[in-house]
Structures are given as structure tokens and as C-alpha cells.
Amino acid sequence: MAYKNKGNALRSPLLQSGYTIENDGYGLLTSRLAYRVDQTRIEANAPKKGDPHPKDPRLKAWKVMWTRDHNDMATIQADYIGFDQGETTTPMISGVGVTQQEPIDTHKLWESEIGGTPAAPKNGATYDATGKFTGFPHSQASKDGGTINLKAYLTPTLAFTGLVYVGSFDIVQSLVANVTKTSSTGQFAGLQLVYKKADGWAVMGPDGKLLWDQLFLDSINYEEFGLVYKISYTVRYFELGFNPKVYLKAK
């Protein structure tokens, strides 16, 4: 008996019923759709990279695969990606708090409680002719103050790591340009990479005139992920702040 084809020849892809759009909770949308089409028309008719999602134009196709079925038919699966709004997600942020050593004469209570000044030293602190602190040698004053050979103290520091998706390589380039820059708001290149803080991320510098930002964009890594860019980054926090004469402020 001769084989007979009946029904729709499916010369154009037919979207199959039922689909899901997933929001990861940070604003990244993903979806997978299935289409049926004649085997001879797969490559000419499969969704192309950048084609809009037929049900939600916020998403665009970025990956396509197909399977050849029986009866000269094929199933196409297309993956779509996009943003809930705008062209960035909300960063996923985590942090690790550690301590690091700092020279004792940088302590904020240095003059008032610990080492005093060259004109009025405290707790056995010594200074050279230029006014530079030279140490706490053995003396009755340093013994009474508990400062013998005191050279450093521990200060808290945080390393914030995060992950954010953006839809433009211009944003990636802007973030790259902000590496080694500082911030008092947690924003770098217009992106909120660290949580906002009511009183800001800044402290008054030792000169009592300039605020020193406490956040520093240490590194970013990025990769193209479909039609978006996946960026991981590290922002460092330093309690004493970063000298604005040495480090430029983020834009």
C-alpha cells in the first residue's frame, strides 16, 4: 500500500501548546518553546538568535535545537532569554567578613588614646625628628599602657561578591572602566552592586576635611550568555576608607 500524507504539511513551524516563562527572582527571564515543522524546512524556519518570543517580546531566542521525528516531521526547541524590566537584573550579592592588620598609627583613636602626637606622646610612643612614629620601646610608660612593641591592630574588612546580568556590552565596558574606583553609595557605572546604607559607605579622612569612600571595585569577570552578559564581581570594604587623592571616585 502506498504511503499517504494527510493534514497540515507544516511548512512553517507550528508552536506547540503550553509554555513556561521563568523569572529567577532577580529579573532574568527564561523560556523554552517547542515547534513542529516539516523536516525539509527546519533550518530555514527555525527561530534565529535574536528573534522575539512569540508570546512575550521581552525575551529573545538565543539557542535552538531540533530532533527529527517519524513521518518526516521534526520538533524544534528554542530557548529564550530576557529581562523583567530594563536591561539589567538585580545583583545577587553575598559577603564575607574578615580582619586584616593595619599599622597602629592609622587607628582612629591614635592621637586621643593610643600614641598621642610628637609634641605630646602617649603610652611610651616615640617619634623621630621629622615627627614620624617609630614604635613603642620598652619603658615604664609603654609597660603601664600595655603598648610594648605594639605595631598593628586588626580592623574588619568585607568582600562583597555578586552576579548580575546585563543586556548591553556598553554596560560591561563601563564597569571595566570603574575597576579600582571607589564609591560611598554602592553604585558603580549606575549599577547598585552593594546594598544601600542609610548613612552611606564613607568616613571622614584623617585630615578631617575629605570623606573617604569605603567601597572599592576590585574585579569583574564577564562572559556572553546568549544575548545577555553574565558579570561576576568583587567589591571590597575598608573601614578606614580609601584615600581620594590616590583612588578616583566611581562614575
Collect all residues with Cβ–Cβ distance below 8 Å to 53 and sequence separation of at least 6: 21, 31, 33, 59, 60, 61, 80, 82
- Flag residues of the chain having pLDDT under 50: 1-3
Per-residue pLDDT at 100: 85
Helices then strands, counting H and E runs in the chain, come out as: 3, 16
Per-residue pLDDT at 139: 94
* Cα–Cα distance, 249 to 217 (Å, whole number): 10
Per-residue pLDDT at 165: 97
Q: Per-domain residue ranges for the chain?
A: 14-83, 87-251
Grid cell, residue 112, equals 586621643
Global pTM? 0.75
Q: What does the DSSP 8-state code read for residue 116?
A: B
Grid cell, residue 182, equals 571607589
Per-residue pLDDT at 10: 61
